[in-house]
Amino acid sequence: MFLDEAKINIKAGDGGNGMISFFNLRGSRKKISSGGSGGKGGNVIIRASSNVNTLYGFKKKVHFKAQNGQNGMSNTKSGKNGEEIIIEVPIGTMIKDREPVIADLKEEGSQIVIAEGGIGGRGNASFTSQERRFPGFAEKGEIIDERWIDLELRLIADASLVGFPNAGKSTIISSISAARPKIADYPFTTLVPNLGVVSFRDDAFVVVDIPGIIEGAHQGTGLGDKFLRHITRSKALVIVLDGQQVIYEGKISSLMDTFQIIRKELKLYDLSLFKKDYLIVINKVDLFPDKTELDIVRKKLVKKSGKPVLIISAITGEGLDSLRASLYEKINNIRVRQREENAKLAGKIDFRSYTIENTKLNEDKIDVLKEGSEFVIKCKRLERMVAMTDLENEEALDYLKYKLKKMKIGDRLKKMGIDEGATVIIGKLVFELID
């Protein structure tokens, strides 16, 4: 089964809690704080892999949770880090999160750390200092919220077959590749895209056959435009026209009309599809004892489009060699150009792995929301500090105050227009802004 959209729920591991413990050296009354730190939670990673071809698997499995970090232990022993979880998706999967697209996994092995595991809380041993010889507090591990993200698959093929239902697209792909889609003499036989690998000389290219489109597809008529997204990444298109239309409708202008409708639908769906390089084939030439009529249409189409127009039969194989050769030439030119561009960029961009840069950059950014007479502080770093503090523990609270003071947060808030004495809220911490 094929599915090209999915919603999944991800959750990175929470950080382990820091431990509070003390021990006495043997034979001495000297106390030492010895609580170890919690381990880091596991990351959630999404990786493109050719092991998977569809997002269908995400219909059954929706929740993905990485392991939590282990809590710290006595004897200053740290907890183990949680194991990461890797979610395999088909090559060509785009990931949408808070932003429309945050990653586009186009190559085998490209990946993104979509959710980073929580940091482990430090154990009380970490807080020992000259002034604080026996810290009676530890940090809690960072809790990571679960969240939903959208996956969208856009197949990556070198060339796409596009045309009206019944034109013979599936027959073509089955004649030039090992793909075996269903073929039948009724419209909308193909319900999901099919990929086929076409060998050419000592090279190969990938072709996709999508369900037929008809006039109004961009507005949802027929199977609509939902499969057009799979041809957006192709290097070239093949517009497949059904020669039989001339026989049925008794006039060659009907093929010209079909061609115009297809061009119009491409344009209305996405201008980039309209601008993509293409060639035209007129299929089912075997039904014509005499090719005069088809030759007339061919010339008209060449004149109209300025593109190559091939007359073929997917059943007898006539013209398929030229189709392979013309397609290969188009694709290869683009490949060469892309290789040159990539070579120029080599070393400058890591194509394979993504990080969510923005969240890192924004950690220190402070936003203030006014809710009634109270001020709610939105800042990733501060919220995390509060969340990791055991607010019931007097000593832990003192330490947090000391940290906030050292970071000059009070001054920053005052500069942002919050008056002394105002009530300020950071996460679960509510306090009055004083010196």
> Which residues contact Mg ion by CB under 5 A?
170, 189-190
Sign of CA dihedral 401, 403, 404, 406: positive
Q: Which does 117 bind (CB under 5 to 8 A by kind): ligand GTP, Mg ion, none?
A: none
- Taking alpha carbons only, the member of 88, 10, 87, 11 closest to residue 49 is 88
How buried is 265 (Cβ within 10 angstroms: 0-12 exposed, 13-18 middle, 19+ buried)? buried
Beta bridge partners of 309: 280
> Residue 185 interacts with ligand GTP (CB under 6 A)?
yes
> Residue 258 interacts with ligand GTP (CB under 6 A)?
no
Q: Which does 433 bind (CB under 5 to 8 A by kind): Mg ion, ligand GTP, none?
A: none
Six-digit token string for 322: 């030229």
End-to-end CA distance of the chain: 64
Residue with tokens 């970490």: 126
> Residue 284 interacts with ligand GTP (CB under 6 A)?
yes
> Residue 92 interacts with ligand GTP (CB under 6 A)?
no
Q: DSSP states of 305-329 as a string?
A: H-S-EEE--TTT-TTHHHHHHHHHH
Q: Which does 188 bind (CB under 5 to 8 A by kind): ligand GTP, Mg ion, none?
A: ligand GTP
> Measured between alpha carbons, how far is residue 204 from residues 106, 190, 198, 329, 380 in Å?
18, 24, 5, 12, 49
> Residue 34 interacts with ligand GTP (CB under 6 A)?
no
Q: Which does 315 bind (CB under 5 to 8 A by kind): Mg ion, ligand GTP, none?
A: ligand GTP
**What is the smallest separation between the CB atom of 158 and ligand GTP, expressed in angstroms?**
19
**What is the smallest separation between the CB atom of 320 and ligand GTP, expressed in angstroms?**
10
How buried is 372 (Cβ within 10 angstroms: 0-12 exposed, 13-18 middle, 19+ buried)? exposed
Six-digit token string for 357: 């840069």
> Residue 283 interacts with ligand GTP (CB under 6 A)?
yes
Beta bridge partners of 423: 374, 432
> Residue 166 interacts with ligand GTP (CB under 6 A)?
yes
> Residue 254 interacts with ligand GTP (CB under 6 A)?
no
**What is the smallest separation between the CB atom of 384 and ligand GTP, expressed in angstroms?**
53
- Structural contact between residues 148 and 115, judged by C-beta atoms closer than 8 angstroms: no
> Residue 211 interacts with ligand GTP (CB under 6 A)?
yes
- Taking alpha carbons only, the member of 152, 194, 156 closest to residue 331 is 156
**What is the smallest separation between the CB atom of 109 and Mg ion, expressed in angstroms?**
32
Q: Which does 252 bind (CB under 5 to 8 A by kind): ligand GTP, Mg ion, none?
A: none
**What is the smallest separation between the CB atom of 244 and ligand GTP, expressed in angstroms?**
7
> Residue 192 interacts with ligand GTP (CB under 6 A)?
no
> Measured between alpha carbons, how far is residue 13 from residues 45, 102, 384 in Å?
12, 21, 15
| CB nearer Mg ion, residue 39 or residue 168 | 168
**What is the smallest separation between the CB atom of 1 and Mg ion, expressed in angstroms?**
17
> Residue 319 interacts with ligand GTP (CB under 6 A)?
no
Six-digit token string for 66: 């990485």
Q: Which member of 241, 313, 327, 389 binds ligand GTP (CB under 6 A)?
A: 313
Alpha-carbon distance of 405 to 401, in angstroms, equals 6
Q: Which member of 115, 155, 207, 314 binds ligand GTP (CB under 6 A)?
A: 314
Q: Which member of 41, 118, 120, 168 binds ligand GTP (CB under 6 A)?
A: 168
**Span 329-388, contacts to ligand GTP by CB under 6 A:** none
Secondary structure class of 299 (helix, strand, coil): helix
**What is the smallest separation between the CB atom of 223 and Mg ion, expressed in angstroms?**
11
Q: Which residue is nearest to ligand GTP (CB)?
A: 212
Binding site for ligand GTP (CB under 6 A): 163, 165-171, 183-185, 187-190, 211-212, 283-284, 286-287, 313-315
